[in-house]
Amino acid sequence: KHFDWIDGNRLGVCGGSYGGYMTNWIASHSKRFKAAATHRSLANELFSYASSDMAGSPGSKSYAAFSDFMIDKLKSSPIIYSENINMPFLILHSINDMRCPVENAHQLFTAIKDLHPDLPVRMVLFPNSNHDLLGEGPMYLRIIHYNENIEWFKKYL
């Protein structure tokens, strides 16, 4: 509302790593955006609890029961709110990402496709790459990554 050069009907949301988690969360909790792109993100904290290179962190010790911890992790996972995603959704993920294991991308893609078969959703996996794809990954993969993101928003915004 403060900037007349922003078209409120053509807003997209994207982010990587924690920004990807937030993109997943925003897409599953907001109708403000027209399209989304998540990069190397967490979608299921319950799954990532024991699978990422930060396994066990944060831990369950501050909970009265382990089941309370697990339920809390599920409640804070965007995957559980996938039914609310109603915008074209792009998932970009590195296959060898140990910070945000690639299974997060598979689960989110499958959930969105299962719940919204007619919604445009695309998943692109990058071989021989890790969580730092955009920082130190092979240049040709970084170019593909950026092009996928740009083309997605050109098409759906």
Active-site positions?
17, 131
Per the listing, tokens 């074209």 go with: 88
Per the listing, tokens 């050069």 go with: 5
Residues 7/32, Cβ–Cβ less than 8 Å: no
Residue 154 contacts by C-beta under 8 Å, 6 or more apart in sequence? none
Q: Peptide bond preceding 58: is omega within 30 degrees of 0, i.e. cis?
A: yes
Q: Quick one: CA dihedral 148, 21, 44, 129, positive or negative?
A: positive
Strand order through the sheet with 35-39: 12-16, 35-39, 89-94, 121-126
Q: What phi, psi does 61 have (nearest 5°)?
A: -60, -25
